[in-house]
Amino acid sequence: MALEALARRRQAEGRPALAIAWGPIEDAGYLAERPAVLDSLARRLGARPIPAAQALAGLSAMIASGLPTVAFADTNWAEARRFLPILATQLFMESRAKVSPSPVDESLAERLASLDPEAALALLKTVVADEAATILRLPGEGIDPLRPLSEIGMDSLMAVELRLALENRLRVDLPLVSLTEGTSVASIAARLTAAVSTGPRDGEVIALAAHHEVVEGARSPADPDRAAAE
């Protein structure tokens, strides 16, 4: 930000300046030595890694633009707009127009609508576990539904990614609590069960969700019965 402000000031004074916000470079610098970070950045922000030669090849065009600040990256706008609210503003209208909206998982919604509350909760646990496993790069069956996700490596940015993935898939608002409060696959599924329910089943589903959250809270890692089972 400081370099961008300096570039704008120099240009305003009639002096040359150009500040470039480079996207992830795959074969040089910090990210080249940390492939896990490179992959995570690409997944979360929709910026595909590019070779240094490709980045430098665009330098002459950036200089010729006469702009004080530019960004250069191979961006997947459909992914990026899930995580960057600013892309919904008028400034990025032209970019948004080139991107097809992500489809709702209609088959999942239909399946949930046809299930009783208990079965819907079980299905949602599987869905949440699969999404969490994808973000954490773990096998879905390896995630304990009652274990806090923070204990298996999920940080706050990953939690936002999980929330947005579930909201996009189900088209619901998911008010996730902080990971420090012990958010688990089971607790998220319970909230989703209430959120996706409609019609006369609402009261029953919400009561079921509340019941499962109470049960989960009681079965903490300190519970002797659970400790023995593990």
Q: pLDDT tens digits, residue range 103-121?
A: 445 678 778 888 888 898 9
Total number of domains in the chain: 2
Residue 230 lies inside a defined structural domain of this protein: no
Same domain, 73 and 120: no
Specify if 172 maps to a domain. Answer: yes
Considering the domain architecture, whether residues 146 and 205 belong to the same structural domain is answered as yes
Q: What is the pTM of this model?
A: 0.49
Is the residue at 10 inside a domain? yes
CATH number at residue 92: 3.40.50.720
Distances (CA, A) of 183 to 152, 155, 180, 214: 11, 11, 7, 13
| Domain span holding position 39 | 2-97
| Residue 144: inside a domain | yes
pLDDT at position 78, please? Answer: 66
The 10s digit of each residue's pLDDT in 134-147 is 888 787 777 899 99
Are residue 67 and residue 112 in the same domain, yes or no?
A: no
Cα distance from N-terminal residue to C-terminal residue, the chain: 49
Question: What is residue 57's predicted lDDT score, i.e. its pLDDT?
Answer: 92
Token digits of residue 4 = 């961008």
Q: Residue 84 — pLDDT band, cuts 50, 70, 90?
A: low
More confident call, 153 vs 92: 153
Q: Which of 70, 97, 124 is the last residue of a domain?
A: 97
